[in-house]
Structures are given as C-alpha cells and as structure tokens.
Amino acid sequence: MYDHTLDTLCSEAGYEFQREKYGPKLAFMRKYFGERFASISVLDVGVGYGVFLKIAGEDYGLRNLSGMDPYPNSIEIAKTMTKARIELGSLFDMKWPFEEHSFDVITCFDVLEHLEKPDEFFVNAGRYLRGGGIVLISTPNKSLPYRMRSIPFIGFPDTNPTHINVQPPAYWRRAAARNGYEVVASWKGEYLTHIRLIPKLLKVLCAAIRIDARKVPLVSAFEQAFVMVARPARQQAHG
C-alpha cells in the first residue's frame, strides 16, 4: 500500500507515483477537449495537498486552475504546491466561491467515499459547469479484491474510518444518471492494489504481452480506483 503522508508525497518516488495516478485523467481531458485543452478551466473539489493541481499545471501546462477545500490546513499546504486559485468551501454549500457556469472540468478525487450524501456533489457541480463541461471523479473500486482486504496475509485492510460510502462502479453510474448526467467514459485504474502479490504479477504479465491491464476485465478488477467522466445530459457538444 502507498502511504499518503506529506513527506512521501513530496519525495521523488511519491511524486512519480502521483504522476502515474493523475496522468490518465489528464490525458483523457487532453484528448476530450483537443485543441481547446490548453485553455480549459478546471476546478478541483477537495484539493487535499494540491498535488493534482501541481501536476496539471507543471506537467500538462494548464493555467486556468482552481481548487476548493473545507479544511484551512489543507489549503495552506496546497498553496505551497501550486499557483492555482484555492478557496475555502464545501461541496455541500449552496453557493461555491466561484462564478456559476465557469468551468470546463470539475474534478473530485478520493472524496465521495467519505460522504453520506454524495449526490449533492453532482447537483451542485452542475451549476458551475459551462456548456460542454464534464465532471471527473475517482473513488475506491469496490469489487471482489476490495472485499478481500480483510483476509489475513492476503489483503491490506482499509483502516480509514471515514470511508463510509465505498461502493461498486454501478452505484456511481446510477448516481450520475439520477442527477441528470450521462456517463461518457469510465475505467478502473491507479494500481494501488488492495491485495498482495497477485496484481503485481498480473501487471508484469500484461506488460510482457503489451496489453493495457485496465482494459482486461479480470485484471482491472484489481485496480484500486473507479474513474468516471460524466456530463449533464442534453447539453451541447464540447467542440
């Protein structure tokens, strides 16, 4: 398992790990928006230490970056990581500290599993997306390997008591649909495994035969995260 402390995140190995974690998400945005990518506006809801915004700016050249977090200490640390505009605020607030309909992308990584009522993210985010905008979320992938975490010598137990709403992918697709969104893409990724040894062997095997592990159903079940991209239904295309 990867230890998400500030020290490890700022280490060379830790930062490289974060690049692997956020890279596919940013690569999707670049492909989705095409020539518009360099100018898109991005809001990260729940910035944590600000690593995603740092990578988005430094590695992908995005400059119109904003973040929101309910914890002042997180904001203070994040502001040392990134030049993005970061404001104090909760996704549950009726009024966010930004203009409505001003973002092309609203991201929410490793947050929704902490919430009793995650639907409020989709409801409130919709007011801050401009036409053609998307939301991009990631949350733990509750498949069979996740359920095996508690088995001694096989799994890595989930010791986070705030993980009160870890759900399978179908749950998040339904949440998007009932709040007026259509799913445009989804995948399982990050390879932060919940199980010992087996995923590493599968990853080596997939690399040897040159296939993308995320696209092989039995292998992708071992991926740590479920990633979903959705947009408000009946909106105009992003072109």
CB neighbour list of residue 4: distance below 8 Å, 6 or more residues apart: none
Count of Cβ atoms closer than 10 Å to residue 18 Cβ = 19
pLDDT score, position 55: 96
Least Cα distance to 145 among 198, 98, 103, 93 occurs for 198
Flag whether pLDDT at 42 surpasses 80.
yes
Q: Tens digit of pLDDT for each residue in 206-215?
A: 888 888 776 7
pLDDT score, position 6: 58
How far apart CA 114 and CA 95 sit, in angstroms, is: 21
pLDDT score, position 38: 96
Q: Tens digit of pLDDT for each residue in 118-127?
A: 999 999 999 9
Flag whether pLDDT at 128 surpasses 60.
yes
Q: Is the CATH number 3.40.47.10 carried by domain 6-141+158-192+225-232?
A: no
pLDDT score, position 212: 78
Residue 169: band (very low, low, confident or very high) from pLDDT cuts 50, 70, 90 = very high
Extents of the domains making up the chain: 6-141+158-192+225-232
Flag whether pLDDT at 69 surpasses 70.
yes
How far apart CA 217 and CA 125 sit, in angstroms, is: 31
How far apart CA 109 and CA 105 sit, in angstroms, is: 13
pTM of the model as a whole: 0.87
Least Cα distance to 190 among 28, 21, 9, 24 occurs for 21
Q: Is 211 within 8 Å of 115 (Cβ atoms)?
A: no
